[in-house]
Each structure stands twice: as structure tokens, then as C-alpha cells.
């Protein structure tokens, strides 16, 4: 009797477990046995520029499946599919013959023409499921910004990855009732759950200006032969990124997936995720900070013999013979290292580091892009006077290009550090569900200092090293930069050349940054290697946006080619420099020698006044 009672209790407990405790799980398992589904992948949302031009979209493709238990003529089906889809007959036959599974994927993302051939063949047991594939109408434009997706349409890099949850949509399913072998049961209902397309992104990018930037960088790559070239165009008043590119790049429709090293290297958005020593472009920030804290005025005078001694170390000016006596405006125009050593030491470590924080250096700006770099700042407590001195002219500090252009923008836009961003709004079925507004992070300088800085950077272009960005009839400001790279902790023989410019100089609408890493041409100076290509972009903007010129005839006289380049090879550097100065020409000096060994351009070349030439003294 006890045994019977025990068995009865066990049976009751088992029934309770099956019918109550595990009922939901068992129902789910039963559904898996009786229902077969094919996924209906959602289309990713479109990405468009600020004018509505499509930069990334999806188009319909089809995944080809086979249901082995429905296929009677397996060899014929395998032969047709392998020929039509360009697959191995043996591999297809194996899948067609495997009756232990309900369905097998033969090939994903088959185009419409091929899919129609399969549909028209009316093969028993072969079914197609709608899918989608990403397409980039402009090919290799915005390679690093847009990024790309996996073959399964999952955002893998760039904005495709950053905004994955908005772009991906919700997949649907097609379900049908089948027996245990996967064969559809006649006279049963199928269920169709449609997919929901992803949301659309409207970017701050202007495709017309982006194409101009891409063209300028391509030309830079050809003429200057750098390891890479990077450019950004920003609206300084809002933080909107108008254009951004890095070369070399690849066609987003033809990714080098079989070359992972190239894929990953060229997919890096250097403008956002990498850092570099900015060199002389950083002097704009030091100048503005010095004016803001009142440690200098534009009329202060500085004497440069070609170097400064700090903590017993000799810090050289790029011009080994020195710039002599000059005021602050001339110091920025001449890009004199000695002046900026003095300014940094006047500011002192505390105020200098506070300015770094104000400009957003050493921290993320919150740009809507995965992998934003914070920059690299030396630990404040470890920084010595000589380190502070070098920071004043853009060494011993590393920033990302987006940090530099954002900080520079604050200096010339009235003093507001704006948060940079790519996405203007997100919409679903034409209805905007999110809209980004310009965001002020903090103030960096006063309006008065900003006004002074606009004047000073315009002088750099009108009179000095930035003259290669001068455009007759238009007001352009800017600053050149040349940085010697560190390799394994030591200064090497490689350089970074750059130029950051603003237009119109008096009331800026655009800031343009061009960076050439390790140029391999005749020069490595920013005035020669980077500045002319920023000028090309600004000229295109002038034409595209229909800016009107002023003082055109007067400005044209400044660029008339009426100065003949003299032969300076063999002269001592002092005599050569004075001869160029008398001709109203400017020079960049390479090397510490006393005698000119090479010059660029060649003797007899016709130049305009204020043109920049290169003298090598090696």
C-alpha cells in the first residue's frame, strides 16, 4: 500500500511539473516542432546629408533556403542552384540531401535578377526570404565617417555602428505549420509578421563641401606623397561637422575584407580617434589664453635670437637665425617658438592647465562617434618648466584633430566651445523623433579677445606664413603648423604638416583643418604642404555659397607674379634670408647649417609678393 501511495504521489508531482511549472516552456518547444519560420530582415534606415542627398541606403536582396524534406529531385535541384548561384555542386547537394534539418541556407543576399531565375524555375522545396544589402552611392566618400556593416547588416564601424540601434529596424518572420520532418501541413494557416524599417539619419555633412575636401586631399596625396592626409570642415558657431575625410580610403561598396590589416587601418577615423602633437597651430590657443589672462598685449615686444634656455635646455626656434625684435602680432605671424615659450612661462603651469581644461583638451567632447580620443596631457604635478615652455608652442601635448578644430573655433567664434556633432536629426517614416540643437560646453575666451584673435589670424594669411591661403577679394584667416614626430620616445626625421583656416575671417562661417602625416615631397612645412589644399576647399565654398568679393583689384596686386626667385645656393643663411626679405618673400629654413645647400622653387621662378620659399641648410 505504501509503495502504491508513493508511485501515485510521484505521478501527481510529475503531472503538475509538466502541466503547470513547465507548461510555458513545453508550449514553446512544441511550437518549435510544429512551426517553421524564415526571417524577414528589416531594411536599415537611410543616411542623408544636410540637403537630403542619400549617402547610405539599403536595397532588397533575397536569401535562398532549401527544405530538404520537400525536395524529391535532389540532384536536379542541387545542379540548378549551384549553377545559378555560382556555388559548389557537392556542397549544395549535401545541404539539399540533409533531411535531418527542416531548412538550410544556400546563399544570402542574392540579387533580384538571380532571384527571379530561381522563382521562375519553380523548384520544389526551395524558398526565398527577403533580405537587404547596404549601398553607398558615393563609393569612397566619407569612408571613415559612415563606416560599414557586416554581411548581416549590423553596423560595424563609423556612424553605422554608433547609431546601430536606430538604423537596424526590427526583423519580421514568415511562419508556417509543418510536421516533425519539416513538411508543410496542407490546409493550415501561415503567419506573416512584417519587418519594420530602421530610422533615417540626417547628417550635418554637406555632400558638396565633402566632395571638395575629398578632392583636395586626393590631390595632396598625389603631390605631397604623405603617409596619410586628414581634413575637417566645421561650422564654428554650431559645432556642426560639415565635412570630414582621411586618405587613403576605400570604396564602401567594395570593402577589402580579405585584407584585414588594410580594412582596419583605413577604417580609423583619425580625426576623432587618434591624437598628434599639433605644433604651431596650437599657438593660436596660447595667444588667446595669454590675452585672456592679461599676461600679454598685442603691443608687447619679444626678442628672438633663435632659441630660449629653460631648465638648462636649449629650445630652438624653427628659424635658426632668429626673428629679432617683434611684437605679439608679429610673433604669431612669424610662428616664433621663443615668443610662445615666454607666453607659456608667463601663464605658469596652473593657468596653462586650466586653459587646457577650458578648451576641452585631455577629455572627451561628447561627439556622437564611437571611440573618441581624450588626448594626452602630461601629469600636471610631473610637468617641469621646460615642459610648460614646449606646451606653449604645441609640443609635449597631444590632441585629436576634432579637439583642435573645436578649440580653435571657440577662439574665433566669440568664445564658445561648441560640442561637435554629426547627426542633425533622426526620423521614422518622415516624422522627426530626435533633433540635435547646438550645445555650448563652456566659454573659453571673452568676445573682446575673440575679436582680437580674428584679426591676428587674418594677418597671418595676409602678410606671413599663411599667405598660400590668401584669396583675392576675400578675408581668410589661419595658422600653419609643422611638427617633428617622436618615434620610440625620441625625435625622428618624420613630420606632420598642417594648416587651420577660417572664412570669412571677420565673421567666420567655416573652419578648415588640413593635416598631412609624413609628407614625402620637397618640404614638410605646413605653409607649403597643407595650406594650399585648405585654400582649394575655401575657394570651392566661396563658389558654392556665392560669397561676394571685396577689394578684389587691390588684392590681385598682392598675388601678381612679379618677383623672380634668386639663386641662393652657396650663400650663408643670413645673407639669403635678408635677400628674400628685401624682395618681400618669406622663407622656411630646414636644417641647422650656415650655408644654403638647396632651394625651392628653382632660380628664375616667378613668384608673387609674400610667397613662401624653402631653403635647406644641411
pLDDT in tens, 563-572: 899 999 999 9
My answer on whether 323 and 443 are in the same domain is yes
Q: Say if residue 601 is preceded by a cis peptide, omega within 30 of 0.
A: yes
Strand-pair partners of 354: none
pLDDT tens digit sequence for 101-140: 888 999 988 888 998 899 898 888 888 877 788 999 999 9
pLDDT tens digit sequence for 218-227: 999 999 999 9
Domain count, the chain: 3
Tell me: pLDDT of 17 over 80. Answer: no
The predicted pLDDT at position 552 comes to 85
My answer on whether 544 and 592 are in the same domain is no
Average pLDDT over residues 55-73: 89
The predicted pLDDT at position 297 comes to 97
Cα–Cα distance, 102 to 118 (Å, whole number): 20
My answer on whether 540 and 569 are in the same domain is no
Q: Residue 470: helix, strand or coil by DSSP?
A: coil
Is residue 12 a part of any domain in this protein? no
Cell of 173: 518572420
Distance of CA 571 to the CA centre of its chain: 45
Is residue 112 a part of any domain in this protein? yes
Predicted confidence band of residue 19 (pLDDT cuts 50, 70, 90): low
Average pLDDT over residues 275-285: 96
Cα–Cα distance, 597 to 411 (Å, whole number): 40
Please tell me the chain's helix, strand, coil percentages from 3-state DSSP, rounded to the nearest 5: 40, 25, 35
- Domain containing 39 — which CATH number? 3.90.1310.10
486 or 308, which is more confident?
308
Cell of 196: 519594420
367 or 578, which is more confident?
367
Is residue 482 a part of any domain in this protein? yes
Average pLDDT over residues 226-245: 98
Q: What is the pTM of this model?
A: 0.86
pLDDT tens digit sequence for 293-313: 999 999 999 999 999 999 999
Is residue 600 a part of any domain in this protein? yes
If we measure between CA atoms, which residue out of 512, 506, 408 comes closest to residue 458? 506
- Domain containing 587 — which CATH number? 3.30.10.20
pLDDT tens digit sequence for 357-414: 999 999 999 999 999 999 999 999 999 999 999 999 999 999 999 999 999 999 999 9
- Per DSSP bridges, beta strands 423-428 and 431-435 are antiparallel
For the chain, give the percent of residues with pLDDT over 90.
Answer: 66
Is residue 299 a part of any domain in this protein? yes
My answer on whether 130 and 61 are in the same domain is yes
Residue 122 CA: distances (Å) to CA of 64, 119, 312: 13, 5, 86
The predicted pLDDT at position 8 comes to 55
Predicted confidence band of residue 177 (pLDDT cuts 50, 70, 90): low
My answer on whether 133 and 228 are in the same domain is no
Tell me: pLDDT of 35 over 50. Answer: no
Is residue 29 a part of any domain in this protein? no
Residue 562 · residue 290 · CB < 8 Å: no
My answer on whether 359 and 442 are in the same domain is yes
Tell me: pLDDT of 24 over 80. Answer: no
Of 514, 542, 559, the residue at which a domain comes to its end is 559
pLDDT tens digit sequence for 74-85: 999 999 999 999
Of 151, 182, 203, the residue at which a domain comes to its end is 203
The predicted pLDDT at position 555 comes to 83
Residue 217 · residue 494 · CB < 8 Å: no
Q: Is 104 annotated as catalytic?
A: no
Predicted confidence band of residue 33 (pLDDT cuts 50, 70, 90): very low
Q: Which of 19-33, 141-155, 359-373 has the lowest mean pLDDT?
A: 19-33
Cα–Cα distance, 248 to 517 (Å, whole number): 12
Taking each helix axis as running N to C, give the angle between helix 74-85 and helix 89-97, from 0 to 180 degrees, rounded to the nearest 10: 140
My answer on whether 146 and 271 are in the same domain is no
Tell me: pLDDT of 317 over 60. Answer: yes
617 or 450, which is more confident?
450
- Domain containing 220 — which CATH number? 3.40.710.10
Q: Which of 22-31, 156-165, 399-408 has the lowest mean pLDDT?
A: 22-31
Q: Say if residue 504 is preceded by a cis peptide, omega within 30 of 0.
A: yes
If we measure between CA atoms, which residue out of 524, 528, 535 comes closest to residue 501? 535
Cα–Cα distance, 215 to 293 (Å, whole number): 41
Q: Which domain holds residue 568?
A: 560-618
Cα–Cα distance, 307 to 490 (Å, whole number): 20
Cα–Cα distance, 332 to 533 (Å, whole number): 21
Average pLDDT over residues 599-610: 87
Count the Cβ atoms, other than its own, within 10 Å of residue 248.
Answer: 15
Q: Tell me which range, 202-216, 482-496, 521-535, is most confidently predicted by mean pLDDT.
A: 202-216
Cα–Cα distance, 176 to 193 (Å, whole number): 11
My answer on whether 184 and 277 are in the same domain is no
Farthest-apart Cα atoms in the chain, separation: 123
My answer on whether 551 and 603 are in the same domain is no
My answer on whether 351 and 252 are in the same domain is yes
Of 168, 203, 238, the residue at which a domain comes to its end is 203
Active site residue: 178, 249, 271, 280, which one? 280
Residues in the chain, total: 618
Cα–Cα distance, 512 to 538 (Å, whole number): 8
Tell me: pLDDT of 1 over 60. Answer: no
Q: What is the phi/psi pair of residue 420, to 5°?
A: -75, 145
Cα–Cα distance, 196 to 198 (Å, whole number): 7
The predicted pLDDT at position 354 comes to 98
The predicted pLDDT at position 588 comes to 83
The predicted pLDDT at position 20 comes to 52
Cα–Cα distance, 258 to 241 (Å, whole number): 32
The predicted pLDDT at position 509 comes to 98
Is residue 93 a part of any domain in this protein? yes
Strand-pair partners of 491: 486
My answer on whether 607 and 536 are in the same domain is no
Is residue 99 a part of any domain in this protein? yes
My answer on whether 364 and 347 are in the same domain is yes
Cα–Cα distance, 303 to 324 (Å, whole number): 5
Average pLDDT over residues 143-166: 95
Burial 578-601 (b: 16+ CB within 10 A, else e): eebeebebbbbbbeeeeebeebbe
Q: Which of 148-152, 327-331, 365-369 has the lowest mean pLDDT?
A: 148-152
Distance of CA 212 to the CA centre of its chain: 15
Amino acid at each position: 500500500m505504501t509503495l502504491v501511495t508513493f508511485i501515485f504521489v510521484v505521478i501527481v508531482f510529475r503531472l503538475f511539473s509538466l502541466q503547470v511549472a513547465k507548461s510555458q516552456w513545453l508550449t514553446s518547444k512544441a511550437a518549435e516542432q510544429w512551426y517553421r519560420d524564415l526571417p524577414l530582415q528589416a531594411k536599415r534606415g537611410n543616411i542623408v546629408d544636410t540637403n537630403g542627398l542619400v549617402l547610405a541606403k539599403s536595397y532588397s536582396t533575397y536569401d535562398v533556403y532549401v527544405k530538404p524534406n520537400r525536395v524529391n529531385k535532389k540532384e536536379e535541384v542541387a545542379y540548378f542552384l549551384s549553377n545559378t548561384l555560382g556555388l559548389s555542386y557537392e556542397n549544395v547537394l549535401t545541404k539539399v540531401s540533409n533531411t535531418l534539418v527542416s531548412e538550410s541556407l544556400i546563399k544570402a543576399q542574392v540579387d533580384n535578377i538571380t532571384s527571379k531565375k530561381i522563382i521562375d524555375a519553380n523548384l520544389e522545396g526551395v524558398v526565398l526570404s527577403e533580405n537587404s544589402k547596404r549601398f553607398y552611392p558615393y563609393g569612397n566618400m566619407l569612408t571613415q565617417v559612415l563606416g560599414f556593416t557586416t554581411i548581416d547588416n549590423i553596423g560595424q564601424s563609423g556612424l553605422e555602428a554608433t547609431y546601430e540601434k536606430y538604423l537596424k529596424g526590427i526583423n519580421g518572420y514568415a511562419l508556417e505549420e509543418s510536421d516533425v520532418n519539416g513538411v508543410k501541413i496542407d490546409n493550415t494557416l501561415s503567419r506573416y509578421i512584417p519587418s519594420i524599417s530602421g530610422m533615417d539619419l540626417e547628417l550635418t555633412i554637406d555632400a558638396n563641401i565633402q566632395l571638395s575636401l575629398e578632392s583636395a586631399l586626393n590631390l595632396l596625396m598625389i603631390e605631397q606623397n604623405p603617409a596619410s592626409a586628414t581634413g575637417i570642415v566645421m561650422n564654428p558657431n554650431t559645432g556642426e561637422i560639415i565635412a570630414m575625410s582621411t586618405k587613403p580610403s576605400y570604396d564602401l561598396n567594395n570593402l577589402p575584407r580579405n585584407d584585414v590589416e588594410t580594412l582596419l587601418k583605413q577604417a580609423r577615423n583619425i580625426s576623432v580617434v587618434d591624437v598628434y602633437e599639433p605644433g604651431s597651430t596650437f599657438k593660436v590657443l596660447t595667444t588667446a589664453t595669454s590675452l585672456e589672462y592679461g599676461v600679454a598685449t598685442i603691443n608687447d615686444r619679444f626678442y628672438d635670437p633663435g632659441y630660449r634656455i629653460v631648465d638648462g635646455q636649449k629650445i630652438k626656434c624653427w628659424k635658426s637665425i632668429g626673428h629679432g625684435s617683434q611684437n605679439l602680432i608679429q610673433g604669431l605671424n612669424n610662428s616664433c617658438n621663443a615668443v610662445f615659450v615666454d607666453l607659456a612661462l608667463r601663464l605658469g603651469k596652473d593657468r596653462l592647465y586650466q586653459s587646457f581644461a577650458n578648451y576641452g583638451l585631455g577629455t572627451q567632447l561628447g561627439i556622437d562617434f564611437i571611440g573618441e580620443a581624450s588626448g594626452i596631457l602630461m601629469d600636471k604635478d610631473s610637468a617641469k618648466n621646460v615642459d610648460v615652455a614646449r606646451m606653449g608652442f604645441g609640443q609635449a601635448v597631444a590632441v585629436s584633430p576634432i579637439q583642435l578644430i573645436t578649440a580653435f573655433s571657440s577662439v574665433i567664434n566669440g568664445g564658445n566651445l561648441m560640442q561637435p556633432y554629426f547627426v542633425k536629426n533622426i526620423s521614422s517614416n518622415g516624422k522627426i523623433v530626435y533633433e540635435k540643437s547646438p550645445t555650448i560646453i563652456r566659454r573659453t575666451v571673452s568676445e573682446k579677445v575673440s575679436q582680437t584673435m580674428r584679426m591676428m589670424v587674418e594677418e597671418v594669411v595676409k602678410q606671413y606664413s599663411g599667405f598660400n591661403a590668401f584669396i583675392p577679394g576675400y578675408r581668410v584667416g589661419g595658422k600653419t603648423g609643422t611638427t617633428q614626430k617622436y618615434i620610440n620616445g625620441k625625435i625622428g626625421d618624420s613630420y606632420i604638416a598642417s594648416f587651420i583656416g577660417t572664412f570669412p575671417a571677420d565673421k567666420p562661417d567655416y573652419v578648415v583643418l588640413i593635416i598631412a602625416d609624413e609628407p614625402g615631397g620637397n618640404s614638410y612645412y605646413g605653409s607649403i604642404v597643407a595650406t594650399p589644399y585648405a585654400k582649394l576647399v575655401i575657394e570651392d565654398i566661396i563658389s558654392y555659397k556665392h560669397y561676394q568679393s571685396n577689394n578684389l583689384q587691390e588684392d590681385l596686386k598682392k598675388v601678381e607674379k612679379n618677383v623672380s626667385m634668386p639663386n641662393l645656393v652657396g650663400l650663408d643663411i643670413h645673407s639669403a634670408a635678408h635677400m628674400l626679405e628685401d624682395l618681400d618673400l618669406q622663407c622656411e629654413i630646414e636644417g641647422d647649417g650656415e650655408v644654403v645647400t638647396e632651394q625651392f622653387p628653382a632660380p628664375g621662378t616667378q613668384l608673387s609678393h609674400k610667397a613662401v620659399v624653402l631653403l635647406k641648410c644641411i
